[in-house]
Amino acid sequence: MLIRLRAYLKINQKYLPVIFFMTGFIWDTLTLGRIDRLYDRMILSTYMISLSTCLYLYNVADDGKWKGTFFENYEKYLPLAIQFFLGGLCSAYVIYFSRSVSLTKTFSFFIILVILLFANELLKKRISNKYLQFSAYFFMNFTFFTFFIPVLIKQMGTTIFIVSGIISLTTTVLLITFIYAVSPSTRVEISKSKMLGLIAGIYLLINSFYYFNLIPPVPLALDTGIVAHQVERVNGDYEVTYQKEVWYKFWRDNNLTYIQIPNTNVYVFTSIFAPTALKKSVAHHWQWKNLETGVWETADRIGYQITGGRDQGFRGFTFKSNIRVGQWKVEAITEEGHVIGIVRFDVVMGENSDNLQLTTRTF
């Protein structure tokens, strides 16, 4: 059985890296749920530690480090293990980032993941390329700490993000320096100064993404965002009345063309996921697009406090009256101005609600 497995792996060797990468992705999609759940934290920590360990084991293998040891027969599979843990971490981050009704905030992250995925598949040496190895590792390490530290200390913000980045930068540089010191083959293959310069460049790039709002304020995520005709608090629940989308637009439930009835309010209801016991000030930033200038103009900014722990997110709503027709968006933002998610809709005027297809949903 073992001989046949080895023969199969040898024949299909060129396909194995992407298979192991996707296996890790699919496995996490089926098993992971909440970033603050003990199981999820243990899995992510195990992946990160295992990835670090495999990088060390693999990079010293060419120096004959494992000759005559238990690892000698298995060192050939270390690139596959690296690929598996890399894929597992990528999938976990995609799951947590995509817990939003808006893909706008996660677009830059998905672009990085796609580049990482295709780089692993298309480069001649694939994961054996040490520059690619350590660059991918640092990206995963950085993202890990930006998720993990806020969950542990129940706080988040720009300072926490910076601290998380410094920790990930320090641990990555220490690992590279250690491997470089103990592995002659690594010293031949890469330039330490070039490698550290590349890591520093990635560090500055990720911080630039965060500064310009291209990376969302993890671990917060917008679970639900609805533009509604009425929101009422009933026995601890929220009853949200909104326009049903036409049947052929099956991918969403809420009609984003809002028919405004005179002398009524326009409501935006959101539920924002946050880890247990994490408290954060957020706001609904109402904006109207001026078609003459093409500029989004601020109509209002209404803040409130959220407390994490609820599976479906902390619920809240804001509303406006005498709203203008045209394009609108309501950004759910942190007190620092980082966008958690966006609810977009177009306002048109109507005479009455008789012909509206309204439905009420309880949250």
Domain parsing of the chain, residue ranges: 2-211, 221-362
- The pLDDT of 161-188, averaged and rounded, is 94
Region 198-219 average pLDDT = 87
CATH of domain 221-362: 2.60.40.1930
63-70: average pLDDT:
79
* CB count in 10 Å sphere of residue 264: 15
User: What pLDDT band is residue 124 in, cutting at 50, 70 and 90?
Assistant: very low
Residue range 21-64, pLDDT digits in tens? 666 667 777 777 778 888 888 989 999 999 999 999 998 888 88
Residue 82 confidence (pLDDT) above 80: yes
Instruction: Find out whether 43 and 92 touch, Cβ atoms under 8 Å.
Output: yes
Mean pLDDT is highest, among 98-102, 239-243, 275-279, 332-336, for 239-243
Gap between the Cα atoms of 239 and 227, Å rounded: 13
- Calculate mean pLDDT across residues 142-170: 92
- For residue 184, give Cα distances in angstroms to 59, 76, 120, 154, 194: 10, 19, 24, 43, 17
Between 150 and 80, residue with greater pLDDT:
150
| Per-residue pLDDT tens over the stretch 240-292 | 999 998 888 877 889 999 999 888 999 999 999 888 889 999 999 999 999 99
How far apart are alpha carbons 231 and 240 in whole angstroms? 5
Return the pLDDT at 336.
87
- How far apart (Å, rounded) are the C-alpha atoms in residues 316 and 238? 9
The SS3 assignment for 264 reads coil
Give the span between the Cα atoms of 152 and 205, in whole angstroms. 25
Exposed/middle/buried for residue 314 (C-beta within 10 Å: 0-12, 13-18, 19+): buried
Reported as a pLDDT band with limits 50, 70 and 90, residue 6 is: low
Q: 109, exposed or middle or buried, with CB in 10 Å at 0-12, 13-18, 19+?
A: buried
Residue 290 CB contacts under 8 Å (≥ 6 apart), including other chains = 296, 297
Percentage of residues in the chain having pLDDT higher than 70: 84
Q: With a cut of 60, say whether residue 2 has pLDDT above it.
A: no
